[in-house]
Amino acid sequence: VELTADEGDEFNTYFSDIATLCRQYTVQFITGDADLSEVASFQAQLEEMGVQNCCDIYQEALERYNQR
């Protein structure tokens, strides 16, 4: 799918920090530095950072693509 320029700008606003957090938690979960009981907290952080906005942006782009 292709994002419009506005969608790309908005997506990038959120996604850079989200990707960093995901990488950090992935390593911590694998190495045991973070307990799996922290998954809910991790998910809450993602929501606060705008992960749903990123999903919505891609959903709109996918719907445009499917309508072609």
Tens of pLDDT, residues 53-68: 999 999 999 999 999 9
In angstroms, rounded to a whole number, what is the distance separating the alpha carbons of residues 8 and 57? 9
pLDDT of residue 22: 97
pLDDT, one tens digit per residue, over 2-49 is 999 999 999 999 999 999 999 999 999 999 999 999 999 999 999 999
Question: Residue 8 in contact with residue 32, Cβ under 8 Å?
Answer: no
The pTM of this model reads 0.82
pLDDT of residue 44: 97
In angstroms, rounded to a whole number, what is the distance separating the alpha carbons of residues 38 and 26? 12
pLDDT of residue 51: 97
pLDDT of residue 1: 87
Transcribe 10-45 into DSSP letters: HHHHHHHHHHHHHHHHHHHHHHTSS-GGGHHHHHHH
